[in-house]
Chain A
Amino acid sequence: MQAQVARTSIGISRLHDGRRLLRAVLPALSLALIILAIWALNPRAISYFGLTLMLSLAVPVALATVGQMMVMAVNDLDLSIGSFVGLVGCVTATWLRDEPVIGVLILVGLVLAYMLVGALIHLRNLPSIVVTLGMFFVWQGLAILVLPKPGGHAPDWLHGLMAVKTPWVPFPIVAALVIGIVAYVGLMRTSYGVILRGAGGNPVAVSRAGWSLLRGKMIMFGLAGFCGVLAGMALIGLTTSADANLANGYTLLSIAGVILGGGEFVGGRVSPIGAVIGALTLTLAGSLLNFMHISPDWQVAGQGAILIVVLAARTLINRAGVSA
């Protein structure tokens, strides 16, 4: 790609930049289109109250998506994050409320377990989809053992935190902004963030330069686990009670969110801000279908269709570039 740019004239390289820009704004554009459509159907929905309501579940989804993005940045895929978020929810609604010290220890242990999974995948050179698919069942089993029947209660402080009313801008948007910016600065703007992404982009080069790939993978999986813990806690703060299967759908949602946000499967190409925008888009898609009076049966299809449309748009942009 770079060699191609170097060889071509300035005019074409400007076109190339335009294409990159278009690709970069595509996630934001799709989100804007959805908000616009909701506004057209029901202008009152785009208000402080309406957005708070529509976007409340976006916070845990965005956190899970950023977690998934960490794993995808090192060329792996985490199919276990959905049941992991569910397990964290169960721990939050039981241990963390009743025995905060033990609760915190369990959650720290879970993050360490995530790091071990990353280490295992790296050391034995295992396909991450198989290992994390196995972990999906491990987390789900543990969740059922922690909380055999739906129930439990969110700690009061957590419920209070998720119900906070921020001035002017609804809380979910503020939270999404904070998540996006923290992940962006950490991963895209720090020197170690570059190394971590490099572990996905060009592992050979990174390891020849003397950096430990094992440590990189463990850190990224650990960060994914940390995001998963935050997602589970945020989810319980919203729903106030837990269920082992509460968040199983988060696996697919988080992968879709990363891809919608411009992330790629290989090569350490990820976009934290994009991932958060992707999560918001998927959350709002449900509300849009509601306003269009489309039966809830088609909610999932709506998310699938948005994914397909955005990917089609991205392909078109890429092809336009190739033919130019």
Chain B
Amino acid sequence: MTGSRIKLLVQPVFSQPWLWSFVGAVSVWIAAITYTGGYGAGGMVSATIALAAFSAIVGIAQMFVVTLGPGNVDLSLPANIGLASAVAMKVMGGDDSMIAAGLAAAIASGVGIGLANYLLIRLLRIPPIIATLSASFVIQSIGISYGRGLQVKPPPGFAAATSDQVGGISLLAIAAVAFSVLIGLVLHRTAFGRSVAAIGQNARAARLAGIPVERVRLMTYALSGGLGGLCGALLAGYFRGSSLDIGNEYLLTSIAVVVIGGTSVAGGKANVTGVWGASLFLVMLLTMLNTFGVSAGVRLLVTGLVIIAVIVAAGGPRNTR
């Protein structure tokens, strides 16, 4: 590695695991444009940044939940995104004046799902994996029933807002970055964010220290659900219509970007920057494979192997499952 000499000079920066995901994204990009001989280099970056914004939003949702500690994971995000995309399109009804209402409805649907998840965990005392899994079964059915035959196009203003670009960078991605900065502040500078990390490090100690553990967990699941709902609405705008399986790929993606981005799977340590780096890396990887023109099978195979390779290279944290 050429990085070894530099590593000595800027040790503190380079010991950050999230940095490697950015390095990975750039290397993959270079590999792709080398293949095309420089053709479409800018377009590739634009497309990647636009799509990475969605992964980053869902990834941040998952990041908060994972940070709560071992076993905390939100498996209901894909179903949540699918339902919210339908809710948003139905409420907007193709009318520009209803955009805000539609977004609010989608977020509300997501927050409701988050609350339901928390209630299942709390009342049934079951592991979050099973609670969110059972919830996602129910949400899928609600989505199928609610979204049957739904073919509402997004309002033109909304569709434009989700895909317009300023200087090659999608408006949505700019908004998502701004939002991520806000999330970073929430995570590192507010009582809520610090509480989430504290609970992930040691729930018992956090409780004894007077942190309202259950309230923080409730808010975290609601936040995750709300972000999932928001992402569902935005995806429906970007892809010009809702679909129940619009969120399916985000089960793997959300967990993968959290882990690759350097957030501890054992909880207690979150990293917003890393979520972005990992999102860019994964989307760029897919873009590169598409550029190479490989078949769907090879694409899936490589994606899976890369995720495993990254987690193996990053090494396993202790006390995880």
Binding site for B on A (CB under 8 A): 75-77, 120, 124-131, 133-145, 148, 244, 252, 255-256, 259, 265-266, 295, 297-305, 307-308, 311-312, 315, 318
Contact, CB under 8 Å: A144 / B138: no
**How distant is the Cα of A76 from the Cα of B320 in the complex, in angstroms?**
9
Contact status B307-A297, CB under 8 Å: no
In contact, A127 and B259 (Cβ under 8 angstroms): yes
Q: Which of B1-9, B42-50, B178-186, B311-319 contacts A (4 or more CB under 8 A)?
A: B311-319
B303 CB–A CB distance under 8 Å: yes
**Interface residue ranges, B against A (CB under 8 Å):** 71, 73, 120, 123-127, 129-130, 133-138, 140-142, 144-145, 148, 251-252, 255-256, 259, 265, 295-305, 307-308, 311-312, 315-318, 320-321
Which residues in B have their C-beta under 8 angstroms from that of A138? 300-301, 304-305, 308
Who on chain B is nearest to A135 by CB? B304
Beyond known contacts A135-B308, A304-B141: 16 more, CB 8 A cutoff: A124-B312, A125-B315, A125-B320, A126-B320, A129-B129, A133-B251, A137-B303, A141-B297, A141-B301, A143-B297, A148-B297, A265-B321, A297-B141, A300-B141, A304-B135, A311-B124
Do B130 and A307 touch across chains, with their CB atoms under 8 A apart? yes
- Report the bound CA distance from A141 to B148 in whole Å: 30
A142 to B124, Cβ gap below 8 A? Answer: no
Is B295's CB under 8 angstroms from A145's CB? yes
11 pairs, A vs B, C-beta closer than 8 Å: A125-B317, A133-B251, A135-B304, A141-B302, A256-B137, A295-B145, A304-B133, A304-B136, A304-B137, A307-B134, A308-B134
The listed residue with most A CB atoms (<10 A of its CB), out of B130, B303, B315, is B130
Distance of A20 Cα from B318 Cα, bound (Å): 33
Nearest first, the 4 closest Cβ-Cβ pairs linking A and B are A304-B137, A141-B301, A301-B141, A137-B304
Contact B298 A141 (CB under 8 A): yes
Which of A77, A126, A259 is packed against the most chain B CB atoms within 10 Å?
A126
Across the interface, do B316 and A308 meet the contact criterion of CB distance under 8 Å? no
Which B residue sits closest to A302, measured CB to CB? Answer: B141
For residue B311, which residues in chain A have a CB less than 8 angstroms away from its CB?
126-127, 130-131, 134
Kindly list chain B residues whose C-beta atoms are within 8 Å of the C-beta of A144: 295-297, 300
Cβ contacts under 8 Å, A135 to chain B? 304, 308
Does B301 contact A137, Cβ atoms closer than 8 Å? yes
B-chain residues with CB within 8 Å of residue A133 when the two chains form the complex = 251-252, 255-256, 307
List residues of chain A with CB within 8 A of the CB of B300.
137-138, 140-141, 144
Provide the bound-state CA to CA distance between A142 and B299, in Å: 10
Task: Let me know if B138 and A301 touch, CB within 8 A.
Answer: yes
Rounded to whole Å, the gap between the CB of B307 and the closest CB of chain A is 4
Are the C-beta atoms of B304 and A255 separated by less than 8 Å? no
Quick one: given A133-B252, A144-B300, are A305 and B145 in contact (CB under 8 Å)? Answer: no
By a CB distance below 8 angstroms, the chain B residues around A142 are 297, 301
Q: Which of A127, A128, A144, A308 has the most CB of B within 10 A?
A: A127
Q: Given A128-B321, A148-B297, A255-B133, A134 and B308 touching (CB < 8 A)?
A: yes
- Is A141 a contact of B312 with CB atoms below 8 Å? no
CA distance A259 to B320 in the complex (A): 20
* Closest A residue to B259 using CB positions: A130
With A141-B297, A141-B299 known as contacts, the answer to whether A307 contacts B321 (CB < 8 A) is no
| A77 CA / B130 CA spacing, docked (Å) | 12
Give the shortest distance, in Å, between B319 (CB) and chain A (any CB).
9
Contact B73 A300 (CB under 8 A): no
B138 contacts A305, C-beta separation under 8 Å: yes
Nearest CB in chain B: distance from A36 CB, A: 23
Chain A's closest residue to B311 (CB) is A130
Which of chain A's residues has its CB closest to B252's CB? Answer: A133
Q: If the complex has contacts A300-B140, A304-B141, are A134 and B321 also in contact, measured as CB distance less than 8 A?
A: no
A241 to B287 CA separation, bound complex (whole angstroms): 33
A130 CB contact (under 8 Å) in B120, B255, B297, B318: B255
Closest to B251 in A: A133
User: Which of A75, A136, A318 is the one whose CB lies under 8 Å from B252?
Assistant: A136
Nearest opposing residue in chain A for B141, CB measure: A301
Q: In the bound complex, what is the Cα–Cα distance between A129 and B136 (angstroms)?
A: 17
A124-B316, A144-B296, A311-B124 known; A259 vs B301 contact (CB < 8 Å): no
In the complex, the chain A residue whose C-beta lies closest to that of B142 is: A301
- Once bound together, how far apart are the Cα atoms of A270 and B145, in whole Å? 35
Q: A134-B311, A315-B124 are in contact. Are A304 and B134 (CB under 8 A)?
A: yes
